[in-house]
Structure formats: C-alpha cells, structure tokens
Copies of this chain bind each other. A is one copy, B any other.
Amino acid sequence: MSSAWLLPEHIADVLPAEARRIEELRRRWLDLARSYGFELIAPPLLEHLDSLLSGTGSDLDLATFKLVDQLSGRLLGVRADTTPQAARIDAHLLNRQGVTRLCYCGPTLHTRPAGVRASREPLQFGAEIFGHAGLEADLEVQELALDGLALAGVTAPMLDLADARVVRALFAGLPLAAESLADMVAALATKDADRVQALAATWPARAREGVEALLDLYGGLDVLAAARERLPASPLLHQALDDLQWLATQLQASHPEVQIGIDLADLPGYAYYSGVRFAIYGEGRPDALVRGGRYDEVGAVFGRSRPAAGFSLDLKALAGDAAGDRCQPAIRAPWGTDTGLRAAVRALRVRGEVVVCALPGHAQETEEFHCDRELRQVGEQWAVVPIQPRTNG
C-alpha cells in the first residue's frame, strides 16, 4: 500500500496557501455577483443522467462520470458543468416571469482533462441572466466577468468576441449532416485550413469561400468590417456583426483597460451557444480564464425556453495565476486552563486575530505557523507582545 497516497492523473490536493487563495477568490466573486443582484444557488453534484445532459451536446456526455443509483437502479451523472442545472432551476423551481439572475460556485468532475494542465475537478463559478433577450444582458455578464477578474488581480485582460450566428448564417441552407457540421466546427476551431477546404469541397462556391474566409477573420475590431465584405450577406449575419460592434463599443467605454479582439471561428465548448460568445484571457496565459455567451435554447428541454446569457470559470485555474501569498500573521499563546488566559485568547479571536495555542510539549513548534506576536502574562494581565528571540539550546 506504499502508493496509497498517489492521486489519479489531473487530480490534486489543494494545500493551505493555495486553498486560502481560492477561498478568497470564491468570496470575492460571490460578493461581486451579489452586488449585481445575482442570487446564489447550489445545484447537486449528482443528477439523473438524462436530466443532467438534457439539451446539451456529446462533449458534455463524454465528460460526465456515470454511476448507478443503488436506491433506484437508474443511471446518475456527476455534473461536468453547472450551467444546464441553473437553466433547470430557472425553468422549474423559480419559474418567474421576469429577469432572473443566478450564480453558483462548486466543484465539477470531468472524465478527461480539458487541456494538458487542466484539472479534472474544476471549481466552477458561474453567473447567468435568464429572461432577457437583449444585448444588455450579454453586456452585464461580460462586465461582471471583467470586474471579477480585476478583483482577482488580472491586469490587462483580453476579451475575444465571437458569435454562433455567424457560422449558422453561413451554414444555412446547406444540406449538412450533424456529423459533417461537427467536423467543420472542429476544423474551424483549430484553424485547420486543409481540413476546412476538404470538408467544403462540394459546397456551393459562396458558402465555400465564406467558410474559408472565416479562418482569417480574427484580430481587432476591423475584422467586423472585413466580415461584412467577405462573408455571404444575410440578415442573421448582419445582426450578429451589429451586435458584436455594439458590445465592443460599450465594453471599451466601461472597461478601457480591456483589449478587445474578434475571432469569428472561435467555437470550442459545449453545443448550446446561440448568439454572442466571449472568452477572456489573462496576460501570458494560453488558456481562456472565462468563457461565456448566450444560449437561449438551454432551458427548452425543461419545458420553458428562456433567453439566457452567462459565463463560467475555474477558480482553481485562476488562483494558480494569483501572485503573492499574504498570510495573516498569528499570535502564539501558551496552553493553560487559567481563566484570564482563556478569556484573552477568546477576545483576540473574536477581534479577527489568529491565535495558535501551543499544546503542552509542543512549545517550540509554532514556527510552522507564521506567528509574529505572542500572548504573555505581564503582571496580572495577559498581553500581546512581540515574540522574543530564542536562545539556542
């Protein structure tokens, strides 16, 4: 049993310094979302598999761990994404007519890691606005995401905008099987030009030229004008490009520190986006910190199709990026049953101080905790004094 402590691949313990950073981030995101009026929910880790995967694509199915329920014999899944659960809660449990803002923060499990350095147990924070089809909801969740990253110390964020409607407009009217569509989306996402050309070889000329043009349509805001020229015109396309332009303008005004990019072929993730999509990157980090967008159809399977826009992120990945580890200095106290000592310890803790009692026989050990002061008896009183240097031996 010498390997009893080896963890599965892409699964890790979170040790004290990192755990404290994550907890701090968690509170900041939750408090920020609350200040916007987002209400906290905590959907369960376990659901019936058909409920958990309702209206989602095969990506989520493959990512989901399956279990058998001993109580019912039915197949359960451990959630790999909390977004569909939030849609279920909006549709069924809250069932409000108006706008509902929900946020959540909890672990998810993935059968396979999303990337080389990704955890299979992300701590997912997410926020969603249900019930508003207008761009104001997209803007609000993007601003919330940017404000949260700022609180997490991410300076100079880059926000990439895309829109699921661009590809949908391009594919409209083409006799495409679901599989061919999935292949094309994958080829576009990796900007695999040869594969895109091969898959589009038999398409009508305008559509083929359009999908090939898509490969180049990333960069600054000038990409929007280029897209109008190079992609086949349609009302859906123009609405998408107008929306992206409006959002970029608003974001640039409210968050001038953000560098905004456009990537019209950026399509990774689960198959539920229906409109504007976005990803936010931090400086020097290849993977997106936040992904989100509009997925109006996600609640339809629960019998209530409501407009929805939101985002999510992995707080563990974000915390890994955090600089500096500010450990609160502690006060060392002797152990004893003296009522004055115990009252002094209690009073300090209530005031927010960390007081570590040195248990009998361990007086020399509190070095492991960062103690910069100690509680000492001075006459009749217990007082906090700077730690006195020890004599060796």
Q: What are the residues of chain B within 8 A of A129 when measuring CB–CB?
A: 359
Task: Tell me if A1 and B89 are in contact (CB < 8 A).
Answer: no
Q: What are the residues of chain B within 8 A of A381 when measuring CB–CB?
A: none
Q: Mark A42-83, 1 if CB is under 8 A from B, else 0.
A: 111111101100100000000001110111101010100000
Using a CB-CB cutoff of 8 Å, which residues 313-362 of chain A contact chain B?
328, 330, 335, 337, 339, 342, 349-350, 352-362
Partner of A330, one of B37, B74, B96: B37
Q: What are the residues of chain B within 8 A of A358 when measuring CB–CB?
A: 99
Copies of this chain, count? 2
Task: Tell me if B352 and A4 are in contact (CB < 8 A).
Answer: no
Task: Report A82 CB to chain B, min CB distance, Å.
Answer: 11
Task: Tell me if B337 and A250 are in contact (CB < 8 A).
Answer: yes
Task: Tell me if A16 and B41 are in contact (CB < 8 A).
Answer: yes
Q: What are the residues of chain B within 8 A of A20 when measuring CB–CB?
A: 39-40
Task: Report A222 CB to chain B, min CB distance, Å.
Answer: 23
Task: Tell me if A13 and B70 are in contact (CB < 8 A).
Answer: no
Task: Report A373 CB to chain B, min CB distance, Å.
Answer: 13
Task: Tell me if A67 and B70 are in contact (CB < 8 A).
Answer: no
Partner of A99, one of B43, B85, B99, B362: B362
Within 8 Å of chain B (Cβ to Cβ): is A254? yes
Within 8 Å of chain B (Cβ to Cβ): is A15? yes
Task: Tell me if B4 and A54 are in contact (CB < 8 A).
Answer: yes
Within 8 Å of chain B (Cβ to Cβ): is A35? yes
| Stretch from A104-112, A154-162, A206-214, A285-293 that touches the partner | A104-112
Select from chain B the residue with minimum beta-carbon distance to A348.
Answer: B35
Q: Mark A8-37, 1 if CB is under 8 A from B, else 0.
A: 111111111001101100010011101111
Within 8 Å of chain B (Cβ to Cβ): is A393? no
Known A19-B40, A46-B121, A357-B140; judge A349-B35 contact (CB<8 A).
yes
Ordered by A's residue number, 22 sampled pairs between the chains whose C-beta atoms are within 8 Å are A1-B50, A4-B54, A5-B51, A5-B302, A8-B69, A13-B41, A13-B43, A13-B93, A32-B349, A35-B353, A35-B354, A36-B354, A36-B355, A37-B330, A37-B356, A37-B357, A45-B45, A46-B109, A78-B109, A98-B368, A134-B360, A136-B359
